């Protein structure tokens, strides 16, 4: 896998009363598309979730903090899961990657119908006794609006989220990225109205990305020349799966189930949902795991 050129930025404007995040996630989305063989509509849904997750990952305070985003809709895509950490490592998958639907009324990929109705869950592991959990109903299934609603309602920070993915005819990802704008309590009402107007009248995120707009450029369009970029974070696809973790999963089945597995199949094959890597565990290793449990 070649080195990722993806990154996210954080910035502020108007004396710190507004904060913004923006990202490009093209390389990691191409990696996920290759691993999961996602069709365009699944790539668009996963890419929008990945971009939102990458930017929300910048909101985590510590590098060891982790966050899982779960989009649970009743549409044909099934659930979308994205994991991020405080270091910019992202992984994700969509339950049903091979979904095709007619375009929507605007002639675009119908992500809303593919996702359907349901809930958006966010779980943050901040190293405390209990993880933080937030959940909201899906507003449209188009995901940008859903993350806007989540941040505004569940985290109580008025926000605007724009995410887009441009998919090529060969199913590869041309560009993927987005922005999050958040208004802090000290912002004046007139400023909020001004931002809303700028966002409403600017071209779509996908169009801007297609023209080569950078994360900094996305933020500058909305926040103006007053923007101060305070942090830049490289982003990359990274999965934590390993043979050791697979062994631990097999141990959790218990001795009886392992014995049954050895007898019926003679080996085990475990596929990681997040990276589609297949791990084959031969009979002798299964027997060793079973012995260790005695």
Residue 203: CB partners within 8 Å, gap ≥ 6?
A: none
Instruction: Compute the mean pLDDT over every residue in the chain, rounded to the nearest whole number.
Output: 92
Predicted confidence (pLDDT) at residue 2 exceeds the cutoff of 70: no
From residue 111, give the alpha-carbon distance in Å to each of 114, 131, 172, 177, 192. 5, 30, 17, 16, 28
- The continuous run of DSSP H or E covering 160 comes out as strand 159-167
Predicted confidence (pLDDT) at residue 170 exceeds the cutoff of 80: yes
Instruction: Please tell me what DSSP assigns to residue 287.
Output: H
**What angle, 0 to 180 degrees and rounded to 10, lies between the N-to-C axes of helices 40-57 and 26-36?**
130
Predicted confidence (pLDDT) at residue 233 exceeds the cutoff of 80: yes
Q: Residue 119 has what pLDDT?
A: 98
Predicted confidence (pLDDT) at residue 174 exceeds the cutoff of 70: yes
pLDDT in tens, 243-259: 888 888 777 777 777 87
Q: Are 4 and 27 in contact (CB under 8 A)?
A: yes
Q: Residue 294 has what pLDDT?
A: 64
Q: Residue 3 has what pLDDT?
A: 65
Q: How confident is the model at residue 188 (pLDDT cuts 50, 70, 90)?
A: confident
Q: Residue 238 has what pLDDT?
A: 92
Instruction: Please tell me what DSSP assigns to residue 87.
Output: T
Q: Residue 252 has what pLDDT?
A: 79
Q: Residue 245 has what pLDDT?
A: 82
13, β-bridge pairs: 18
pLDDT in tens, 74-121: 999 999 999 999 999 999 999 999 999 999 888 889 999 999 999 999
Instruction: Average the pLDDT over 144-157 and give the result.
Output: 96
251 vs 215 pLDDT, higher one: 215
User: Considering the chain, what percentage of its residues have pLDDT values greater than 90?
Assistant: 69
- Which domains occur in the chain, in start order? 7-237 (3.55.30.10), 243-292 (3.90.1280.10)
Q: Residue 83 has what pLDDT?
A: 96
For the purposes of burial, counting CB atoms within 10 Å of the CB of 36, is it exposed (0-12), middle (13-18) or buried (19 or more)?
A: buried
Q: Residue 187 has what pLDDT?
A: 81
> 138 phi and psi, to 5 degrees?
-75, 130
Q: Are 67 and 84 in contact (CB under 8 A)?
A: yes
Predicted confidence (pLDDT) at residue 1 exceeds the cutoff of 70: no
Instruction: Average the pLDDT over 171-188 and give the result.
Output: 93
In sequence order, which ranges of 20-156 are alpha helices (DSSP H)?
26-36, 40-57, 111-115, 144-153
pTM above 0.85, yes or no: yes
Q: Residue 270 has what pLDDT?
A: 83
Strands 7-13 and 18-24: antiparallel
């Amino acid at each position: 896998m070649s080195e990722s050129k993806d990154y996210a930025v954080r910035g502020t404007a108007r004396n710190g009363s507004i904060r913004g995040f923006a990202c490009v996630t093209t390389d990691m989305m191409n990696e996920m598309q290759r691993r999961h063989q996602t069709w365009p509509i699944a790539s668009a849904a996963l890419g929008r979730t990945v971009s939102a997750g990458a930017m929300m990952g910048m909101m985590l305070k510590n590098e060891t903090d982790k966050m899982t985003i779960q989009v649970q809709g009743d549409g044909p895509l099934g659930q979308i899961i994205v994991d991020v950490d405080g270091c910019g490592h992202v992984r994700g998958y969509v339950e049903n990657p091979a979904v095709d639907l007619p375009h929507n009324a605007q002639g675009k990929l119908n992500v809303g119908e593919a996702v359907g109705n349901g809930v958006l869950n966010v779980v943050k592991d901040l190293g405390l006794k209990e993880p933080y959990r937030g959940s909201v109903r899906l507003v449209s299934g188009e995901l940008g609006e859903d993350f806007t609603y989540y941040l505004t309602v569940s985290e109580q920070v008025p926000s605007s989220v724009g995410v887009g993915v441009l998919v090529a005819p060969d199913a590869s990802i041309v560009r993927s990225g987005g922005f999050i704008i958040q208004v802090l309590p000290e912002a004046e009402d007139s400023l909020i109205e001004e931002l809303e107007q700028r966002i409403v009248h600017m071209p779509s995120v996908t169009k801007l990305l297609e023209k080569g707009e950078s994360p900094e450029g996305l933020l500058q369009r909305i926040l103006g020349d007053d923007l101060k970029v305070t942090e830049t974070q490289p982003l990359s696809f990274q999965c934590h799966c390993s043979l050791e973790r697979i062994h631990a999963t097999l141990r959790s089945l218990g001795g009886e189930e392992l014995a049954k597995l050895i007898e019926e199949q003679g080996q085990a094959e475990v596929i990681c949902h997040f990276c589609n890597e297949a791990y084959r565990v031969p009979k002798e290793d299964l027997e060793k795991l079973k012995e260790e449990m005695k």
